[in-house]
Amino acid sequence: MSSIAYVTDEKMLEYHRLCRNKDILFWRLSSRKKFTDFRKGDLLFFFARPSHSRRKGLIGYAHFDSVKRLSLRQMWEQYETSTGYDSRELLSEAIAKAAKGTIPKQMSCLYLKDVVFFVSPIYPEEIGIEIPKNLESYCYLDRNNPKITVSILNLAEKRGIDLWSAADNTEPEVIFARDEIRHKFAVMHKEIGKESGSEKERNNCSRLARKRTEDPEWEMIRGSRTDCLKVENDTVWIAMPYAVQANDKDLRIRELFGRMTMYRLLSGQYQVGKKIRFELLGDHIPAYITEMVEQLNHE
């Protein structure tokens, strides 16, 4: 999970806001800087200049879904006003202006979902980062420090998100709350540290975790190959694999319950505001281990 600040045309964003577009399409000229670490579900923050300010700030975000190679005709036929323009002519004019006259035959387009706008912009200096004023395309926000995204979302929560701009069938506050939790747990995992064990144990744990995330309700915690996350109304579930070898069984069990305890303690520090429950993944989990997890879940 990564987050980027993406230079965005403020007029186009305002159009999306007024039209209450849930999903949007951003076109990019082929000469623009290419993504090297950006995956489905990662956050793209809109970096633009609000109408009442001379400074650029983060005014909302959307979830990256995919990259599509499209011509101008395909863009308009498939997405129409989700491109941010009222007509194909206006879209063509905007692309021609950016391309300085010649519209490329195909462009690399970003398809984004679940848009969330902030009530007021968040400026880089407010969260302790610096974004170049002359940034032309995008920059990573949290490649080395996932706390940056958490700081942005925390500040946005205090100031409020724009509920009016959401489509009637969407709940931006639910989307926002889930994103905040996902990134808080990424920070917690980084503080707890990577999983130990032998290479065979780690591979088995990774296999169990990948199998769990085949269920769309579950996802891997950022930075982890083994710990999975599911967010419900009042509960956050963390699934952790049980795959140990006989020669280090006791050590691995102590580590497993130590990690559970750390997640629960850190969730209080980061004000997750939900119950924390655990689930073990594995084929041959001893009954007494399962009972210990149940006891922990009911404390």
In the chain, the amino acid numbered 147 is: K
Helix ranges restricted to H, 80-234: 88-98, 147-159, 172-192, 199-212
Query: How many other C-beta atoms lie within 10 A of the C-beta of residue 241?
Result: 26
- pLDDT for 196 equals 79
What's the pLDDT score for residue 29? 77
User: Final residue of a domain: which of 182, 214, 248?
Assistant: 182
Regarding whether 143 and 19 lie in a shared domain, the answer is yes
- Cβ atoms within 10 Å, residue 208: 20
The rounded Cα 162 to chain-centroid distance in angstroms is 19
Same domain, 154 and 39: yes
Asked if residue 10 belongs to a domain, the reply is: yes
Cβ(90)–Cβ(132) under 8 Å? no
Is 270 inside a domain boundary? Answer: yes
- Alpha-helix runs per DSSP H in the chain: 10-19, 72-79, 88-98, 147-159, 172-192, 199-212, 249-269, 287-297
Boundary-marking domain end, from 182, 216, 239: 182
Domain span at 249: 193-297
Averaged pLDDT, groups of 10, the chain, 299 residues long: 86 89 86 71 92 86 93 94 93 88 88 94 92 85 85 94 70 88 94 84 92 95 92 94 84 92 96 95 92 93
H or E stretch covering 241: strand 235-241
- The structural domain count of the chain equals 2
Q: Is there a single domain that holds both residue 52 and residue 87?
A: yes
In a domain, 229, yes or no: yes
- For residue 98, the model assigns a pLDDT of 83
How many other CB atoms are there within 10 angstroms of residue 69's CB atom? 11
Instruction: Tell whether 177 and 198 lie within a shared domain.
Output: no
